Structure 1
Amino acid sequence: MNVRIGIVGLGKILDQYLATFDRLPNARVTAVADLNAARAEEVAAQVGARALSVEALVADPEVDVVLNLTIPAAHAEIAHAAIAAGKPVYSEKPLAATTADGIGVLEAARAAGIRVGGAPDTVLGAGIQTARAAVDAGRIGTPTSATATFACPGHESWHPNPDFYYQAGGGPLLDMGPYYLTTLVTLLGEVTSVVGASGAAHESRTIGSGPRAGESVPVDVATHVTGILTHASGAISTVVMSFDTAGTEAPKIEVHGTKGSLSVPDPNRFDGDVRLRELGSPEWAVLEPSAGDIPGGRGIGVVDMMVAENEAGVRASGDLALHVLEMMEGMLSSAETGQAVRISSRVERPAPVPLTTTHP
């Protein structure tokens, strides 16, 4: 199946998607749209597509799927527009700014018989899939716990327009959490309850690069969040997401079981070493890639969604993205109330990805 893609929102993440589509023989960008018309024309010329309005793009008969790369606050609006036009839609993370908005998107999609997918698709790469294969093969025994840590000073030092990172729908949890939480669900299964604590070290941030360098932006979200996730399996995951540190040497993700432990690579990437330490062994052993897409790349989830035999076969699905969104919102709610939050959405672990090479 050849997949014709219309892209809405042409920001910094775009180039990674374009690089993937450029090497996939069954993916082609046919239309682009952006609030900045000049930017749309520039990208259209670059990829041999047409620059259209959003309305024209979602209605275009030469667009099979809408790729939604807008800011989080606009994700639901664009998704609804695509669904209303009868087009499948794949959104950058998070699925929407709120769980309620995400539910609305999925309800509209189901009523229309339209597929919805959501980033991240990094979990389809060889790094996370090799770790999953090790878990599924019983290499660590029964999984009992996991830790996930992301910590940095914030993105304002390098991003020329970092405002949305510090507005509703942003912050380290909504920005980076999807990579880590999607990985935890992929490895350990759905989550039934969460507990959270949060804070913010600064009331404003100073832009460090670009034409707005030196400008101050307000902080309206928690910039340090800690959470505890209880999986339906009984495993417990501990999560730290922070824009309030100089850095960290903590492992990105570790998964522990009754027979051993796994060190899992950066979930913001498609590759990386998976290391196993079996109980009683003094050494960590690097596992050879045994599953997942090589080399991966942002956008493989879009094509996977379109070529899946049925909705249940979509791996980077809207249901998974909604489950992660509800988990994140639940952690923030728990931080305010001091109470555990039950997670009502249910999701099956996506089907594993066999070892696949998608070089041209």
Structure 2
Amino acid sequence: MADSRPLRVGVLGCGNIARKKYLPHAATHRGFEIVAVADLRREAAESAAAGFGVPAAYGVDELFAAAEVDCVLNLTIPTAHAETGRRAIAAGKHVFGEKPLGTDREESSALLAEAAAAGLTVGTAPDTFLGAGQQTARRAIDDGLIGEPLHFDARMFARGVEHWHPNPEFFYQPGGGPMFDMGPYYLTALVNLLGPVSTVGCFADKKIPRREITHRDAAGGPGPRHGEGFEIEVPDHFAAILRFASGPTGTLSTSFATRVSFYDRQRPITVYGTEGALRVPDPNQFDLLPILQRVDEDGPRELGAATPTGFERSVGLADMAAALAENREPRCSGALGLHVLDAIVACGESAERAGFVRLGSTAERPAPMPAELPEGMLVGPPATAGAAGAASA
């Protein structure tokens, strides 16, 4: 960026993730400001703008053309991430997108190539690994507190999204399923801890092929589609084994078919080393801290935070704004997102082929967060949405 003004961001997509996560927390960071929102449904954009005090509400084409927008925050559905990201790049905008980067390698690679050719930057969620929980786990491993990392066990077991999302079908269509939906959190966290993945093997099944929507409204009554049924199109249960280029191996299981989750949901990743083990917090959260057990200590202990606490969704966008100003790679980089996508797609390929798949991509471990943040990077509590902002688009 040529001047010190904040990065001016236009939000594309005004659904649940925009209203519940990004728009309420944007004001907690300096470095960027939300100047516009857009949606396929103009009324959804207007409602979000009114509820969160955003200056402009646009249609999709208007957002891409808007001169006051430097960067598009892409909160569309996963199958549209790469296509809409490429449109933003073609319009001369930087892009920060929700996870995953895309749903296939080729289109996502094209997005990054087109951005590089245009001198623009692509960043992608998840940014939860920038929170104190994952950063403290990273510091513990880097400082040798568990010795040489050997193995990990990671799991995400859930009953599915139809009990909380009013329109859940896209979670069970191509580009959906538990590995595409939740895998990015776990794989990004593991790459941050251990480096890039080299090889994957996986089994995948449709365990509950027909689903019933049981979503309830804000008052606790049946939602508008309560009781509707639908067929799933993709596997809802994955069991993978991964080898990392640095040597460690481990298992990653993701499921929307396990109605009882009898495991430590707060710290669902354990990394085992030659000198100890580390229970790593939920990679979909920010501030819960890891627990360390060393061979030379009597019992487990919770580690103190290695970096500041208090972040929420949008810290990755704030870091990307800082990266543009500092002429460096954002921590939530497009290259990291592409590598995670490569691993997710490879899991599906492995399940189909009944064999191991070697990844064709790699990525550097993101730079760790500093122990002390630049003054003003986290500037205040989240905003409270008004009635219009609280309603789901």
Give the TM-score normalised by structure 2.
Answer: 0.89
Following superposition, the deviation at residue 312 of structure 1 comes to: 5.0
Residues 1:302 and 2:307 aligned together? no
Write the deviation string for residues 299-344 of structure 1: whole angstroms up to 9, x where unpaired: 1111211211566521001110110111011011101111110101
Residues 1:29 and 2:34 aligned together? yes
**Residue in structure 1 matching 2:252, options 226, 235, 239:** 239
Residue of structure 1 equivalent to 2:338: 322
CA contact (8 A) 1:294 1:356 kept: no
Unaligned runs of at least 5 residues, structure 1: none
Query: Which amino acid counterpart does residue 27 of structure 1 have in structure 2?
Result: F
CA contact (8 A) 1:155 1:162 kept: yes
Query: Which amino acid counterpart does residue 98 of structure 2 have in structure 1?
Result: E
Alignment of 1:44-123 (within 5 A): 44-46=49-51, 47-123=53-129
Residue of structure 1 equivalent to 2:227: 214
Residue of structure 2 equivalent to 1:355: 371
Give 4+ residue runs of structure 1 displaced > 6 Å after superposition. none
Report the 3-state secondary structure (helix = DSSP H, G, I; strand = E; otherwise coil) of the residue aligned with 1:105: helix
Residues 1:13 and 2:26 aligned together? no
Residue of structure 1 equivalent to 2:389: none
Change (3 A) 1:135 1:203: same
Following superposition, the deviation at residue 13 of structure 1 comes to: 1.0
Report the 3-state secondary structure (helix = DSSP H, G, I; strand = E; otherwise coil) of the residue aligned with 2:16: coil
**Residue in structure 1 matching 2:137, options 131, 135, 141:** 131
Report the 3-state secondary structure (helix = DSSP H, G, I; strand = E; otherwise coil) of the residue aligned with 1:228: strand
Following superposition, the deviation at residue 19 of structure 1 comes to: 2.1
Deviates more, 1:107-116 or 1:323-332: 107-116
Following superposition, the deviation at residue 187 of structure 1 comes to: 0.1
Query: Which amino acid counterpart does residue 39 of structure 2 have in structure 1?
Result: D
Write the deviation string for residues 271-306 of structure 1: whole angstroms up to 9, x where unpaired: 102100001434110000012x52111111112112
Change (3 A) 1:356 1:11: farther
Residues 1:163 and 2:169 aligned together? yes
Query: Which amino acid counterpart does residue 10 of structure 1 have in structure 2?
Result: C
**Residue in structure 2 matching 1:40, options 36, 45, 48:** 45
Following superposition, the deviation at residue 356 of structure 1 comes to: 4.1
CA contact (8 A) 1:294 1:355 kept: no
CA contact (8 A) 1:126 1:355 kept: no
Write the deviation string for residues 251-286 of structure 1: whole angstroms up to 9, x where unpaired: 411111111110111100111021000014341100
Alignment of 1:162-181 (within 5 A): 162-181=168-187
CA contact (8 A) 2:197 2:243 kept: yes
Change (3 A) 1:74 1:311: farther
CA contact (8 A) 1:313 1:351 kept: no
Q: What value does the CA root-mean-square deviation take over the aligned residues?
A: 1.4
Alignment of 1:286-301 (within 5 A): 286-291=302-307, 293-301=308-316
CA contact (8 A) 2:174 2:234 kept: yes
The aligned length equals 359
CA contact (8 A) 1:41 1:51 kept: yes
Query: Which amino acid counterpart does residue 254 of structure 1 have in structure 2?
Result: T
Report the 3-state secondary structure (helix = DSSP H, G, I; strand = E; otherwise coil) of the residue aligned with 1:277: strand
Query: Which amino acid counterpart does residue 248 of structure 1 have in structure 2?
Result: S
Query: Which amino acid counterpart does residue 250 of structure 1 have in structure 2?
Result: Y
Q: Which has the higher contact order (CA 8 A, sep 6+)?
A: 2
CA contact (8 A) 2:38 2:63 kept: yes
Structure 2: distance between partners of 1:169 and 1:301? 23
Identity %: 44
Write the deviation string for residues 155-197 of structure 1: whole angstroms up to 9, x where unpaired: 0011100011000110000000100000000000001111010
CA contact (8 A) 2:96 2:122 kept: yes
CA contact (8 A) 1:126 1:270 kept: yes
Write the deviation string for residues 8-61 of structure 1: whole angstroms up to 9, x where unpaired: 011111121112212223332111111121111111112232111222212212
Change (3 A) 1:356 1:69: farther
Residues 1:250 and 2:255 aligned together? no
Structure 2: distance between partners of 1:334 and 1:311? 38
CA contact (8 A) 2:278 2:293 kept: yes
Write the deviation string for residues 61-107 of structure 1: whole angstroms up to 9, x where unpaired: 21121000000011111101110011110110111111222112111
CA contact (8 A) 1:115 1:311 kept: no
